Amino acid sequence: MRRINLADAAFLLAEKRETPMHVGGVGLYTLPKGATAQDFVGELQLDGLTADDFREPFGEYVTTGRAGPLGPMYWEKDKNIDIDYHVRHSALPSPGRYRELFALVSRLHSTLLDRNRPLWEIHLIEGLQNNQFAVYSKMHHAAIDGVASMQLTQGVSSTDPDFRTPDLPMSLSAYQRYLATIGARKQRRVVPDEPELRAVADALKQQFDSSAHVLGALRRFGGAFFGRGGNLAVPWHNVPRTSINTRVDGARRFVAQSWEFDRIQAVCKAIGGTVNDVVLAMCSGALREYLIGHHELPAHSLKAMAPVSLREKGDFSAGNAVGFITADLATNIADPERRLRTIQESMHAGKDLLKGLSPREAMIFMQLTQVPALLTTMLGLAAQFPAFSTVISNVPGPREQLYWNGARMDGVYPASIVFDGFAMNITLVSYARSLDFGIVACRRSLPEIQRMIDYLENALVELEQVVGLRAPAKRAPTKRGPTKRGPTKKVKSAAPKKAAKKTPAPRRPAAKKAASERAGTPAAKSGAKTKTKTKAKTKTKAKVKAKAKSKTEPKVQLGARPKVKVSAKRKVRPKQVSAS
């Protein structure tokens, strides 16, 4: 048995039926010419695979020691692994659109993994249009993180379309091939020799320095709660309550979309920022538009947990080596340029907090600061005391075109975790010349999550307009006018226009009235009274017409659909049909 470390065990401890703790993704492929999905599945030699054929921990299941559930957890090798249970073959109903694919993935991502078996599944899905098929995989977060999952994909992929392999991504041979491809070797356990043992003093000094560095980071972290953090954003501090920060159930909804990397990179060059800055700005604009559409945009800005990899160079093991930075999304700022700059300042402050720490020190710091979040999750208090508003993760992927047994990989769309207090997760992977977004949300807490795809595109267009890469959108003519009375077709009578022509300029009546009052003539006074009576009668008639109009036209509340039929003259906006 191998003991499961605290970082990995945290995902097992926090898991329950409403909050599955597995990650996964959808790989989209185009079949080679003349090949079928059945032929592709037949090339995978699955018969006779044993636990020894898989890399750790994909041939192992979770167990406990003598202390039972109260003690540590361990990985135990599964001597009777059932490959047919873990590798499944599915087909989409007609017409095989992405909508049907996302509906299937949403259901598959909602079910828990069986802890009596190795914690992974692979689903080969056929029936897509355009000679495509999909591979949905899910693995427990205790076994792997985002960077390691991309290593699994690359282990069975090649830039050569003629390359063939019978291996699964979790197999040991695929892992060894990947290490050989990148010129790395599997890490071995280091046993110190005599010269190394003589360096005990240096080791103790390093340990002391590490403690000092971690304590210094904790002081800066805590100071942010008292207004001494500058632009540093921290969990729980001024985190607003929205429909995202609620309790969740077990049902999920998954949507995905790709954006050209060149578009985002062009914005990066124009602003002098990183891809992650632009991605966070896109997500911020999309979340702002989503909350405005549901009439719940908070006064305080949303905060996002932005995971960062803490893997040391040459670390290709499974498991988790990840920390996080709290990003201020500046959703309370309407100006997109100011919003982007605020996000940049927040990310710079978060990176400066970790800059002086080694990967080991950063891991210790992250474990200490994540303990409260783990406790609130285990106690069911995360929805009442949300540490963040959402999770936005950017996973680096391969930059070249890949093939799996001759099938061209068209995209890889991640599917991550949501849990109480964090009902939405946005994760993206950079692949070839695109950024592939995968959004997972609680199906009940966040309706119409598919609209986030449109909102992300709107946010990117807005950023392109700010930096001058796209012409600003033209405003509607009615918004350029001096008044905001709406379209003229709603005005039934032309009488107000005639009255407006006869009425003198705004300043002249005041001047004439003042002159008449100074003269004190009876004619001037009677004229003023006559004009006052005429205005009063006009206002009375207008009120009567307004009341009559309000009786005939029912009021429509914001966010609700009118129950009356729309006339042919009125323009009706077409409904948006989503692919999910």
Q: Are the CB atoms for 428 and 276 separated by under 8 Å? A: no
Annotated active-site residue 295? The verdict is no
Peptide bond into 192 cis (omega under 30): no
3-state secondary structure 489-502: HHCCCCHHHHHHHH
Q: Are the CB atoms for 396 and 147 separated by under 8 Å? A: yes
Tokens of 93: 């109903």
Distance CA 578, CA 451 (A): 7
Distance CA 518, CA 137 (A): 89
Given 86, 123, 140, 141, the catalytic residue: 141
Q: Which residues lie below 8 Å from residue 447, measured CB to CB, with a gap of 6+?
A: none
Q: Which residue has the tokens 């990840």?
A: 322
SS3 call for 324: strand
Q: What are phi and psi of 335, to 5 degrees?
A: -70, 120
Among 250, 561, 304, 293, CA closest to 428: 304
CA distances in angstroms from 92 to 31, 95, 135, listed in the order given: 16, 8, 12
Distance CA 103, CA 402 (A): 26
Angle between helices 261-271 and 451-466 (to 10 degrees): 40
Distance CA 316, CA 397 (A): 14
CA 356 to chain centre: 29
CA 112 to chain centre: 22
Q: Are the CB atoms for 345 and 231 separated by under 8 Å? A: yes
Tokens of 546: 């307004």
Among 340, 244, 339, 238, CA closest to 294: 244
CA distances in angstroms from 537 to 454, 495, 540, listed in the order given: 51, 14, 5
Q: For 221-239, b where at least 16 C-beta lie within 10 A, e where not — what string?
A: beebeeeebeebbbbebeb
CB under 8 A, 24+ apart: contacts of 92-100: 92/125, 92/126, 92/127, 92/128, 93/127, 94/127, 95/129, 96/127, 96/128, 96/129, 97/128, 97/129, 97/579, 98/128, 98/256, 98/579, 98/580, 99/578, 99/579, 99/580, 100/127
Q: Which residues lie below 8 Å from residue 273, measured CB to CB, with a gap of 6+?
A: 340, 344
Catalytic residue IDs:
141
